Amino acid sequence: MALRGNLRDFTITQLLNLINLASKTGTLVVDGSTEQAHISFRAGKLAYARIGKEDGSLAAVLYKANKINANQYRAIADRAGQMTDKELGLLLINAGYVTQEDILLNLQAYFTDLVRKMFTWVEGIFRFENDILPPDDRINVRLDLENIIIEGSRQLRELEQLQDEIPSLDMALKFTERPLTNINLSVDEWKVVKFVDPKNSMRQIAKTNKLTELEVRRIVYGLLQAGLVELVRPANAQISPNAKSFPTQDKEEQKSLINKLIGRIRQI
């Protein structure tokens, strides 16, 4: 079914978050105001990206990164026109011009830059195509999205929007079950992460770290978006319906009341 909408309502970081958490495979197509972007994923990891008519060929990427010089770039363009990026990559590695690591790191940096560029897109129609996979002739990478998401989330600065995302600082945080690996956090982010515990409300974390409400909201928003933490009720909060919810304080009578409601609703 549909995974489509408008960037006005769903930011790029929120989409990356969804793709990451759902481990999606396919291509996110975004029709921006002037360009169209294709970002492909495999199992929730960034595999390939292209924006507009920008030359994202391996030769162009390596040339921009100063891994090959202008003469080599021209020679490749002249002589290896029909070659796929995978074939060209093998040729360059075998010829000793670059290493496999050079190729992967530079492609990762290039694709990440394209995604960063999209953080500034506020208008555009997006759709996720499960059936469109990264092009076969291009080299795919496998890049975790968490760091890109945190980076994108840092750009959300409006207090009003952050208040919508995190209305109450009296809620606590807990780590999700996703493993925390290779995450690049700022000092302030680490300060918050250190106190992630269902016993600590966000208000307490902010106070302990001398962070303003805006600062703690911004940091928590980034961590939420990257799927590292989730909001929970503080551990000391009573979870079951509170005393005022029931006309009786007797636990057995309360259970009997719920069972009566279940029976009645089944009959409707």
Partner 1 sequence: MQTVKMVVTGPFSAGKTQFIQSVSEIDVVATERKISSDEERSVKSSTTVAMDFGRITVDEDLVLYLFGTPGQKRFDFMWEILSEGMLGFIVMVDSTRPETFREARSILETFRAYAPTPYVVAANKQDMDDAWDLEDMRHALRLDKNTKLLPCVARDKNSVKTILLELLYSILQEMESGK
Judged by DSSP in three states, 31 sits in: strand
Q: Which residues bind partner 1 (CB under 8 A)?
A: 1-6, 8-10, 14, 17-18, 21-22, 164-168, 170-171, 176, 224, 230-231, 233, 237-242, 244-248, 251, 254-255, 257-266, 268
Q: Whole-number minimum distance, CB 42 to partner 1, in Å?
A: 17
Q: Whole-number minimum distance, CB 166 to partner 1, in Å?
A: 7
Instruction: Determine if residue 124 is left, alpha or beta; phi over 0 gives left, psi from -120 to 50 gives alpha, anything else beta.
Output: left
Cβ proximity to partner 1: between 79 and 264 the closer is 264
**Edge-to-edge strand list for the sheet holding 125-129:** 4-6, 125-129, 26-31, 36-42, 45-51
48 beta partners: 40
Q: Whole-number minimum distance, CB 99 to partner 1, in Å?
A: 37
Contact predicate 227/17, CB 8 Å: yes
Rounded Cα–Cα distance for residues 62 and 102 (Å): 9
Cβ proximity to partner 1: between 6 and 99 the closer is 6
Cβ proximity to partner 1: between 1 and 70 the closer is 1
Q: Whole-number minimum distance, CB 52 to partner 1, in Å?
A: 25
CA count, 13 A, side-chain hemisphere, 130:
6
Contact predicate 21/44, CB 8 Å: yes
Residue 33 CA from chain centroid, whole number: 22
Q: Whole-number minimum distance, CB 258 to partner 1, in Å?
A: 5
Residue 117 CA from chain centroid, whole number: 15
Cβ proximity to partner 1: between 22 and 75 the closer is 22
Contact predicate 141/107, CB 8 Å: yes
Nearest to 184 by CA among 154, 161, 207: 154
Cβ proximity to partner 1: between 84 and 254 the closer is 254
Q: Whole-number minimum distance, CB 242 to partner 1, in Å?
A: 7
